[in-house]
A and B are shown apart, each in its own frame.
Chain A
């Protein structure tokens, strides 16, 4: 158990809908990362937050957005969903958000778009 929690575990929705994925980092970690894992794209970095502020942005679509709240939990919002958004979404956390940090991964949220 990494100490990172993600809810929900599974999510099934229809095209065009909007969903919110939630992540609680390990106690004491200030940085949160979001990743998308799919069969054709592999593990793709989406976005990173540090202590409530966006720190780095990767291959995140404009339909997707995220935020980190004062209690350090984070939410990833996915809107106007398409079939291709079906994937496993991971959250990770780290103490300082630097490139040297070990990232601790949550169990993931499996999103299925029908």
Chain B
């Protein structure tokens, strides 16, 4: 069955520190992978997506993610976190075998000064 797992419910980092949010997926076909961010009281906004090609994907706001097929992972990274990055982050997977689209349960990021 298709699914997305975000093992970390909540992460706290200091401003300026590096960040890595984990995402593992289970999908029977070629996955399309996404990271979305949700600021408090807002809808979700796409940070980046991976379809094929280079496994390191650059997104908005200085985020990047690396697709590792052997580990079924698509972890999100940022070298230096800003206070404005505090938000909820969702990993999602879609595919070309149908219209299924699955979100993870989200990781809440707190940034301390």
Contacts and interface: CB of A to CB of B under 8 A. Distances in A.
Specify whether A and B are partners.
yes
A56 B95 CA distance: 13
Which label, helix, strand, loop or mixed, suits the secondary structure of the B interface?
strand
B70 interface: no
B89 to A, nearest CB: 12
B36 to A, nearest CB: 8
B32 A100 contact: yes
Contacts of B51: 100
Contacts, number: 60
A33 B45 contact: no
A98 B43 CA distance: 20
B96 A90 contact: no
A36 to B, nearest CB: 11
A61 to B, nearest CB: 19
B97 A99 contact: yes
Interface string A17-33: 00000000000000001
Interface stretch (B60-68, B75-83, B100-108): B100-108
A42 B103 contact: yes
A66 B45 CA distance: 24
A102 B105 contact: no
Q: Among A99, A100, A108, which residue has the most Cβ atoms of chain B within 10 A?
A: A99
A104 B45 CA distance: 7
Interface in B20-38: 32, 34, 36
7 contacts: A2-B45, A43-B90, A56-B100, A100-B95, A102-B46, A103-B101, A107-B42
Interface of A: 2, 4, 33, 35, 42-43, 45, 48, 55-56, 90, 92, 97-108
